[in-house]
Amino acid sequence: MCFSVTILGSASARPTAQRHPSSQVVNFHEQYYLVDAGEGTQQQLVRAGISPVKIRAVFLSHLHGDHCFGVFPLISTMGLYGRKTPLYIYAPAPFGEILENHLKYFDTELPYEVVWHEVKTTEHTLLMENRTLEVWSIPLRHRVPTSGYLFREKEPPLNVSKEKILSYGLSIAQITTAKRGEDVTLESGEVIPNGELTYRPYAPRSYAYLSDTNYSAKAARLVSGVDLLYHEATYAAEEQRSAKDRGHSTSRDAAKAALCAGARRLIIGHYSSRYKDEQVLVDQARELFAETYPAVEGSTFTIEKQK
């Protein structure tokens, strides 16, 4: 079952010839979720080979243009593609007011519904769930109300050990009982604890998106144990004052967050246009957190299953 993140945009407020504003796609079991949508997002989707119609929901971290300007042309293009299913957008207020005006003046006859869900940026809340996935809000520290997002796979169904099935002679009904997490009673009356019969096939996987924000230990703790963490690193370590004043993080802040969270891997992005080569930021972060990787546009990070 695929769980991956594709980077569409890695720039901060000012795009460059090589970098687009913030945007990425989470692919979970072929369910596609857009995280932020800076200018040019729909073109980046096409370049990545991802049809806009496949996007089930959009999660906007905040209402600065470099994170949301691209969602409006995307809405229009989905209509041209003939989309029929609703598009869900999770974003802080007053996005609903902005969306209402867009639909009033530009997309008056869409063939599908756009549904906005307000994200309370001071709350750690379950925003969306289905049979296999949960998405949680993560309060961040920026100049405007901002939320990060945690995509967390639900616990996979239990497997029953083949050896135990044979040794106890378990029936189909007893196997079904064990898969539900219940103890099994044999014909002899002996009760076999569920833990002796079953095992978890793999640990649930997770991905967290923390941008834009000052360093926040609270946010890092809320994504504790995350497999893959994206954290903004707008500035190099020596620009700590600029980062703090502007509600952003340095490369070292991102590494600190990964350490605090106990993350397996860290992606850094949202680079200031002053850095022509992001390797200096990656190298600084790796001094604290070795498993740091750059948000190279078009690259895909796969989250593998762990026992």
Query: Catalytic positions, please?
Result: 66
Classify 151 in phi/psi space as left (phi over 0), alpha (psi -120 to 50) or beta: beta
- What's at 296, amino acid-wise? V
- Give the CA diameter of the chain: 74
The C-alpha atoms of residue 188 and residue 180 are separated, in whole angstroms, by 21
The C-alpha atoms of residue 303 and residue 47 are separated, in whole angstroms, by 22
| Number of Cβ within a 10 Å radius of residue 199 | 13
Task: With beta carbons less than 8 A apart as the criterion, state whether 103 and 93 touch.
Answer: no
Indicate the length of the chain as a whole number.
Answer: 307
Beta strand residue intervals within 252-304, DSSP E? 265-269, 292-294, 300-302
- 191 — phi, psi (to 5°)? -100, 125
> Looking up tokens 């307000």, which residue turns up?
118
Helix or strand holding residue 3 (H, E): strand 3-9
Task: With beta carbons less than 8 A apart as the criterion, state whether 270 and 234 touch.
Answer: yes
Beta strand residue intervals within 29-86, DSSP E? 31-37, 55-59
Task: With beta carbons less than 8 A apart as the criterion, state whether 72 and 102 touch.
Answer: yes
Q: State the virtual CA torsion across 42, 143, 102, 6 in degrees, nearest 10.
A: 20
Count how many Cα atoms sit within 13 Å of the Cα of residue 274 in the half-sphere of its side chain.
Answer: 9
Extract the tokens encoding 204.
Answer: 């649930």
- What's at 272, amino acid-wise? S
